[in-house]
Amino acid sequence: MDTHKEFAPLALLASFAACFTAAALGALATTDAQTFYDALQRPNWAPPASLFGPVWSLLYAMMAIAAWIMWRKHAFQRDPALTVLFAVQLGLNALWSWIFFRWHSGLFAFIDILALIAAVAIVIIKFWSRSRIASTLMWPYLCWLAFAATLNWSLWRQNPIL
């Protein structure tokens, strides 16, 4: 009997729990995010604040499914560094909200998001050799991060309070 398959539903739940815990930790820093974001000078291409929640929810769900697929492929068990790398990118993701929304540092938020982009790019590359589906599920996240980095840069440059 393959106990790995037996625990698959629990592993899927754990993947969602890990990803959405990172989301929740980041969200703790955004209690006044709407007011803060509305007060910023934004480029005309900046999305409304109401778009961020749904987009991030979808991206975290896709990350969780990708992680679960990698668990099913035994990738995390065979490569513990991959587990650490995935956790690091989740940590950098949560940290960005604290840096930007709580500590109001556009520069350090931009540095954080560049590190996050690098970590996610490495995750995508490492996932590719084991599961093209898991790797592909991470691409929208990377694309959104590139957009978010551009927005972060623009906001930092346009707003002296950052």
Sign of the CA dihedral running 7, 134, 74, 115? negative
**pLDDT digits (tens), the chain, 162 positions:** 455 677 888 999 999 999 999 999 999 999 888 889 999 999 999 999 899 999 999 999 999 999 999 999 988 888 899 999 999 999 999 999 999 999 999 999 999 999 999 999 999 999 999 999 999 999 999 999 999 999 999 999 999 888
Q: What is the pLDDT of residue 150?
A: 98
CB 153 within 8 A of CB 97: no
Q: CATH for 3-158? A: 1.20.1260.100
8 A C-beta contact, residue 18 and residue 67: yes
Predicted pLDDT at 3: 53
Helices 49-72 & 132-158, crossing angle to 10 degrees? 150
Q: How is residue 29 annotated by DSSP?
A: G
